[in-house]
A and B are shown apart, each in its own frame.
Chain A
Amino acid sequence: MKAHLLRYLVAAVVLAGCAATGPEFQRVAAQADKATVYIYRPDLTLWMGGYPYVSVGAEKKFALLNNGYRVMALPPGKHSIRFQGTTFGTNWPAAPVSHSVDLQAGQEYFIRAYPELLDKNRPLVGRTRVELVPREEALRELASVRLITD
């Protein structure tokens, strides 16, 4: 019982935090020579106060806050996108994860990233699920998501 209590207290303290507060979602015009990449995190209660940093290649881009999105224009070709947080630094207990994506110029891509529990009885054991989502589905979700501002 004491162990459970301590675990939940730690989780509650560690996972307290913030969400994206920028303007509501707005689609940007695609550039002919670049790929337009939207990366978003739907509004979920799980780990809502924490965040991973998003890096493209070696460059750290932004903190992926709950209910937030960012849009990037990237050159066509293969890119590695990394999601990395820390348990006590950014309240994000999931292990870092990198995914490759092959981008084409003039195309739009919608990447959804969100936390997912791996053991329903252990609120700090989970992973960052990353998916390339069809446009229609993404636009439905993005309607209520806000821009992540610096």
Chain B
Amino acid sequence: MTSIATALAAAATLGLCACASKPQYQWSVAASRTSHIPLQGLPALPRTVSAAVPAVLVNFGDRHEQEAERANANARNAAANTVGSAAYTMLALGPVCVLLPPACIGIAGAAAAAATYSSYIPGVSQQQADGLAGIARREGNSGKLESWVERRLGEESGEFPTLVVKPATVILLTSRDGVAFRVIAQAQAFVSSTESWEPSIHVTQLPWRPVDDWLQSGGKNLSNDLNFAFAVLAGDIARVYMPYRERGK
């Protein structure tokens, strides 16, 4: 069963995805709202400016409430998975349970313990969240996203068009795989003193890692990955706003 499933999965993956070897993490934009931007992009290369607002951090704040919620979810999942897994194992091992009840109880117990562990969502303490927030705030307010956009679009000095890039919003996510961060960028074009376009939104997500991995070596992993995320988001922004006549140069 496993080999058939593996073969099918491999065939489907080959058939459905662009042919490429699988790197550890593929940086890509996970979502965007850009369809309101004309296909021609801006009429000319813009002056890129940074919005005078700080980076927004979501989910880093009061961890007590979130930790209580997580503990409840863990307890609920653990109870359901433990009972379900033990019952399933005992049914599957029917003959063994009739002939060798102690072995059956041992195996079912091990399965239940494994099920309990598999549903466990690790926690993020307030101290860890504060450490992560410090790094995310520093990187978010560093102006790196804006400078990536400027690098992609060039440095123009005219007043219009102007592309205003907001510092990223960073959202802390937790799951049983650890901790990840969703990074959201927003850009808005001002074509003239009287015409502006609705902001475009660009989203990417960092990979899942244990919280300690993010924090080790002074938060080097988080700093590096946020920078990669900014570069990816800047690429998506530039692709949309790049004036048509400047493309392919």
Point out residues on A near B: beta carbons under 8 Å. Answer: 1, 4-5, 8-9, 11-12, 15, 44-47, 81, 97-102, 111, 117-120, 123, 127, 130-134, 136-137
Contact indicator B35/A97 (Cβ below 8 Å): yes
Pairs A–B under 8 Å by Cβ, sample size 29: A1-B2, A1-B5, A8-B8, A8-B9, A9-B8, A12-B12, A12-B15, A15-B16, A45-B16, A45-B17, A45-B18, A100-B38, A100-B39, A101-B39, A102-B40, A118-B28, A118-B29, A118-B31, A120-B22, A120-B26, A123-B13, A127-B31, A127-B32, A130-B35, A130-B39, A132-B39, A132-B244, A133-B247, A134-B248
CB-CB < 8 A to B17: which residues of A?
45-46, 117, 120, 123
The answer to whether A12 and B39 touch (CB under 8 A), given A1-B2, A118-B30, A134-B247, is no
Q: How many A-B residue pairs have CB under 8 A?
A: 83
Say whether B99 faces chain A, with CB atoms less than 8 Å apart.
Answer: no
Report, nearest first, the 6 A-B pairs whose CB atoms are least far apart.
A134-B248, A8-B12, A132-B39, A123-B16, A101-B39, A5-B5
Per-position 1/0 for B32-62, Cβ under 8 A of A: 1001111111000000000000000000000
CB-CB < 8 A to A123: which residues of B?
12-13, 16-17
- How many chain-B residues does the 8 Å CB contact rule pick out? 31
| Docked pose: A7 CA to B152 CA in angstroms | 38
CB-CB < 8 A to B12: which residues of A?
8-9, 11-12, 123
Shortest beta-carbon distance from A12 to chain B in Å:
5
The answer to whether A136 and B38 touch (CB under 8 A), given A15-B16, A118-B31, A120-B28, is no
CB-CB < 8 A to A9: which residues of B?
8, 12
| Docked pose: A98 CA to B22 CA in angstroms | 32
Say whether B98 faces chain A, with CB atoms less than 8 Å apart.
Answer: no
Contact indicator B39/A136 (Cβ below 8 Å): no
CB-CB < 8 A to B244: which residues of A?
132, 134
Given contacts A100-B39, A117-B17, A131-B39, 9 further A-B contacts (CB under 8 A): A8-B9, A45-B19, A99-B39, A118-B29, A120-B26, A123-B13, A127-B32, A132-B244, A132-B247
Residue of A nearest to B19 (CB): A45
SS class, residues of chain A in contact with chain B: mixed
Contact indicator A119/B38 (Cβ below 8 Å): no
Interface centre among A46, A119, A120 (most CB of B within 10 A): A120
Say whether B11 faces chain A, with CB atoms less than 8 Å apart.
Answer: yes
Shortest beta-carbon distance from A7 to chain B in Å:
8
Residue of A nearest to B247 (CB): A134
CB-CB < 8 A to B15: which residues of A?
12, 15, 45
| Docked pose: A119 CA to B32 CA in angstroms | 13
| Docked pose: A9 CA to B37 CA in angstroms | 37
| Docked pose: A115 CA to B36 CA in angstroms | 18
